[in-house]
Amino acid sequence: MKILITGGAGYIGSTIASVLEDNGHTPILLDSLVTGRREFVRDRIFYEADIADRAMVRRVFSDHPDIFATIHCAALIVVPESVTRPYEYYKENVVKSMEFFRLLSELGYNRVVFSSSAALYDVVPGFMVTEESPLRPNSPYSRTKYMMEMILSDFCSAYNLKGIALRYFNPIGADPKMRTGLHIQFPTHLIGKLVEVALGREPVFYLTGVDWPTRDGSGIRDYLHVWDLARAHLNAVERFDSVIEAEASVGTPYSVINLGTGKGVTVKEFIAAFEKVYGQKIPVSIRPARPGDVAGAFANADKAARLLGWKAELSIEQGIADALRWGQVRDRVIHY
């Protein structure tokens, strides 16, 4: 099947493209390359354009009228940047996505898989969240994802769209075949920082926050291998109609699904796993929590198992090993 992936030159979009290709499908990539990488597009069918470029989106569908579904990954994703540049975030992630969905509906390409985020959730006792858990997006970035979920749901009930919103927890690792991986040159997130220290690009790892009400005081998250995350999209498109059918009782052809391992891991536990894979100690220095940080959450992933027939299979150690390998090859794949 042909599947359109917006943001197909990004970290997650390009991994989804590899999973689809490896399973006999044809990804069609649309990416503005504002943050995506040309190196990830390689010999794939690729349109260099913004999702708001109506003429180009029309051309994509007229060139490939047999596109079965659209996976909409394109977005700005940096939380602190969203605090200082909210206009750009609401414009790129909300305004443009809304117009894009409108155009998909006009053109009659009505199957949409949307990249949402676990950043939407409020902190709950025990830290495990189901799709019904309370939401409290606490940054402009996460509010854009929240708004887009609502817009997609409303469009699905009013127009001819059908939507599956996938709430991603924390992806780690890279394509196990090292075709793609995280392309941010100076990462700020946990695995990115640990790799920087391991590869000698930074002298020390700062553990931000040790006073959370978790089992060891450090933040808790659900780290899943990006390959597993990408595989969930394969299942989402292959089972699209049955997922929507399963939600028929709700009345709207729209479904929200958590994508996580179902296991909470603290930062201290993650560092221990990292050191085991890396084979050496990482110098760690304690710092206060980052502005806007939260204790965290991990997924109840039962709905993904039930509706997508998917569960995470790769271990955290595999994710760490692949992130380390990618850290070593990255500068040969990407030409900054």
Please give the distance of CA 239 from its chain centroid, rounded to a whole number: 19
> Based on CB atoms, which residue is closest to ligand UFG, 27 or 171?
171
Catalytically annotated residues = 141
Please give the distance of CA 93 from its chain centroid, rounded to a whole number: 14
Residues 222, 118 contacting (CB under 8 angstroms): yes
Out of 190, 320, 323, 324, which residue is the one contacting ligand UFG (CB under 6 A)? 190
Cα separation values, 223 from 41, 105, 294, 318, Å? 26, 34, 15, 11
Residue 296, amino acid: G
144 contributes a contact to ligand UFG by CB under 6 A: no
- Site map for ligand UFG, 89-108, x if CB under 6 A? --------------------
Stretch that binds ligand UFG, among 36-44, 66-74, 186-194, 324-332 (CB under 6 A): 186-194
330 contributes a contact to ligand UFG by CB under 6 A: no
For helices 54-63 and 96-107, the axis angle rounded to 10 degrees is 40
Output the six-digit token pair for 229. Answer: 């995350």
At its nearest, how many Å lie between ligand UFG and the CB of residue 187? Answer: 9
219 contributes a contact to ligand UFG by CB under 6 A: yes
> Based on CB atoms, which residue is closest to ligand UFG, 59 or 206?
206
187 conformational bin, left if phi > 0, alpha if psi -120 to 50, beta if neither: beta
Residues 218, 207 contacting (CB under 8 angstroms): yes
198 contributes a contact to ligand UFG by CB under 6 A: no
268 contributes a contact to ligand UFG by CB under 6 A: no
Out of 79, 112, 164, 224, which residue is the one contacting ligand UFG (CB under 6 A)? 79
Stretch that binds ligand UFG, among 43-51, 185-193, 251-259, 307-315 (CB under 6 A): 185-193
111 contributes a contact to ligand UFG by CB under 6 A: no
Q: Is 248 exposed, middle or buried (0-12, 13-18, 19+ CB in 10 A)?
A: exposed
76 contributes a contact to ligand UFG by CB under 6 A: no
44 contacts: CB under 8 Å, gap ≥ 6: 8, 17, 21, 27, 29
Stretch that binds ligand UFG, among 11-19, 51-59, 204-212, 252-260 (CB under 6 A): 204-212
Residues in contact with ligand UFG by the rule CB under 6 A: 77, 79, 117-119, 142, 168, 170, 189-190, 193, 206-209, 219, 221, 267, 290, 293
